[in-house]
Structure 1
Amino acid sequence: MAAVVGIRACLSALQLSSPALLHSSYKLCALPLIKRSFAAEAKKVFSRDKPHVNIGTIGHVDHGKTTLTAAITKILAEAGGARYKKYEDIDNAPEEKARGITINASHVEYTTANRHYAHTDCPGHADYVKNMITGTAQLDGCILVVAEMVMPGDDTALTLTLRQPMVLEKGQRFTLRDGNKTIGTGLVTEILATSEEDQHNWG
């Protein structure tokens, strides 16, 4: 019935009087009608009755942004609010798999009891900060992912690679500074042999 209505509409609009043109008119009209019916179905299936929020994960490289994104989809998939995406599915570009880092912002969607979320997993590597800024331009909020924090007074072991050669001895105290601000103090407990790459970078 819909196809017949479409043919009549075309005949009327084009003022076609010859029955010989009926077949070509049907071809012209049938495809848009089919497309319109699919669009109507799509609107029914994907209609959202919850507020929409754009969020993202940001933070330093290798701190777990993509792992957290995958974990969120897994937990919500069990509750029926998302399709589970593995880590490998989120970082799916060949160059990302080869280097093991996020280069381009990736997108996943999920729903909770109160909201629908569009989640952007942003790159954290210094070389791709431009991609991160582009990915966060439309965000309503961010999740800052930090692998671990050293709080004032906490004792922790750090392995530091020096940017230039220095004379150090075991037991020597040192201070870490960021500009004019002291961000930490420590004690040298072990001195590791330098690699050829470190020596090359110093040159």
Structure 2
Amino acid sequence: MSAAREYGLDDDYEWPRPPVGGWTADDLDELPNLPPHTELIDGSLVFVSPQTTFHMCTIRLLDTALFNQAPDEFDAYREFTVTLDKHNRPEPDVLVARVGADTGPKRTRLLPQDVILAVEVVSEDSEVRDREVKPRKYAAVGIPYFWRVEEANGLPVVYVYELDPATRAYVPTGIYHDKLTLAVPFPIDIDLTAINRRR
């Protein structure tokens, strides 16, 4: 079976070939037939593999908790892209942005100055991107907080980072098992074991 047919396309389908200099953030909205949740990293399209139950349940847990606990001036989003620059438009698994960010009903992305927290739940196919590439890019554009979530014995472990504005790099501030309790970017209290309640 051809790769095109796996995506419901006929065998004659031609996959998009990047232009000289790579794809741009604006191209992501214009290219036809892209799989859902396609990201743009350094001008290259990144297709997301099917996700695990752990990944999906962790995203739901964090998205719901952040949505419910965020003050009125913030909102939580799941799997929504952020245009970092011309050639980078990643899709954090969960993010928190300021209310009033120019989203509108037809917007497909946020800008980095509106985002205060980006969260990546590490998958087997995205380890390098989630652990190294994306945090470095989020820090470079000034996103103040970053969480990396790993799986240990079926539960999420949250690695919390805060931006050092002098170096434009993230500094680790804690590793959280079972319970995530933070004072910044706003008071947060999440029972990480709750991931198992509906499985």
The structure showing larger relative contact order (alpha-carbon pairs under 8 Å, at least 6 residues apart) is 1
Question: When the two structures are superposed, what TM-score results if normalisation uses the length of structure 2?
Answer: 0.26
The structure with the largest strand share of the pair is: 2
TM-score, structure 1 normalization? 0.25
Higher Cα radius of gyration: 1
